[in-house]
Every structure is written in C-alpha cells, then in structure tokens.
Amino acid sequence: MNAPVPALATPFYAPVADEIEIFEHAWKNRLPLLIKGPTGVGKTRFVAHMAARLNLPLYTVSCHDDLTAADLVGRHLIGDGETVWCDGPLTRAVREGGICYLDEVVEARKDTTVVLHPLADDRRILPLERTGELIEAPPSFMLVVSYNPGYQNLLKGMKPSTRQRFVSLRFDFPTAEHEQSVIIGETGCTPELAQKLTSIARALRTLTEHDLEEAASTRLLIYAAQMVRSGLAPRTACRVAIVESLTDDPEVADALNEIVAANLGA
C-alpha cells in the first residue's frame, strides 16, 4: 500500500467517452475527483493510465473497515532505539505532488475519511497532528477516490460533507463494441471470442437483480479470454473465470453455465 506505482509504461485503457479530458481538467484546476461505478469496469486501470499519462507517482490505497487515519497519514515507529516518523501513502503523495487514489473509499470508517477534508477543498493542506507539520499540496497533487454505488447503504454511504468536496465521474459497463475492443486490447484474443464473451456478459447482467449480487464485470471477461488464449477450453475458462466468481450456489452456477454454453455455441 505504501509504495508508489512508477509512471513508466502507460497501462492500456480504451476511453469510453470524455473521461480523460475530465480527469485532466480536474487535475489542472486542482480539484479532487470521485469516480463511481460497478466492480470491474476499469476505474482503477483508468487512474493508473492517467497517472502514467501525466507522469505522476501513484499511491493506491484499498480501503477497508480497519483503515485508520494513521494508515493514510503516517505514524511514529520505533527502530534502532529511537522513534522515527514514517509517512503514510497520503502524505507521500502530497509531498511528491503525485496522485493518491483511495479505492472503495466508503469502506473506510468515516472518522478516517475526515482527514481528507483539508486536502479536498481550496485549502489543499494536510495537517500532521503527531508532528505539528502542515503540508501544502503542490499544484501537481491530486486526490482521487472511488466506490461502487451498488454497495452503498445507510451505514456505508459517503457523508455529504465529504462528497460535495469532489467533482464526480460515473463509470458503467461499456457498449458491446467497446467492451469487445477492450478485451482484444488487453488479451490479443480473436474478435470472435471477444464477441462471444461480451454476449455472455450481457446475458448474465440481465440476471443481476434476481439471482446475482454482482454483475459480470469486464475484468472477468478479460480473465476468461486470457485463459482461452493460453489453451484452456472456452467453456472451462468461462466457468472458472466468470461463473464461479459470481455465485457459490450450485443451482445458480448450473443455470449460468447453460447461458455460457448457449452463447459459446459449438
């Protein structure tokens, strides 16, 4: 969590609309960005792509219930008989003028995300209470957070006082043609396989509200295509990469496998 991703090769990303332009304008205007959308539609890849595109270090934090403010900001550690301050990923990103990306930010406790407030408004400062330091974010620093609205509830929603500090960008499942181009671009698979995988995903997504907690993501289609390219049978690849990742119920899995078989054909 504490090591930045070096901005060397730009990760593959196929833009859906004007999200690259929006990100760049938010960065130029020193505005924090909130990205919302379902699992596996490219939110994290998009941020990595933009960090490389802008040649900025990227610190990614996967948020969870036990994440504390100290995990983000830093803490004193004991080493060689003395107490030494160690910056957290948020502090490092601010000092270096990079991007700090908090993935699934609503999973973090609300008392933890409050630490973001001074950075997410016109002050753009990070107070370090433990050291008495007040760090001003350089122009290149950017705060980016994301979450899946499908998981949002009364206990894990974003506070309005936090949410209204961000400009927001909505991600969703791409069109069939775009999703096929992403699968091909990521894996080098044949257009025929990409088309069949996209058809499977669309059939499965219509079942989300009734039988599945989560929709089949583009990420899972890419996993299946990778396994087919390495020599695994398409039905087996779809079973292990898509179906078994969506449900633990054997009867539901059987129904999903029938959908897979129907779309793969002979």
161-214 pLDDT per residue, tens: 788 899 999 999 989 999 999 999 999 999 999 999 999 999 998 875 556 778
Count other C-beta atoms under 10 Å from residue 252's C-beta. 15
Q: How far apart are CA 115 and CA 125, in angstroms?
A: 10
Distance between CA atoms of residues 74 and 90, nearest Å = 8
Compute the distance between CA of residue 177 and CA of residue 114 in angstroms, rounded to an integer: 41
Per residue in 29-52, pLDDT tens? Answer: 999 999 999 888 999 999 999 999
Given a contact cutoff of 8 angstroms between Cβ atoms, the answer to whether 180 and 203 are in contact is: no
Q: Which pLDDT tens digit goes with each residue over 88-98?
A: 999 999 999 99
- If you classify domain 19-170 with CATH, what class do you get? alpha beta
Q: What pTM did the predictor assign? A: 0.85
Can you give the residue ranges of every domain in the chain?
19-170, 176-264
Tokens of 196: 């069949």
Cα 7 to the chain's mean position, in Å? 17
Tokens for 262?
Answer: 């129907």
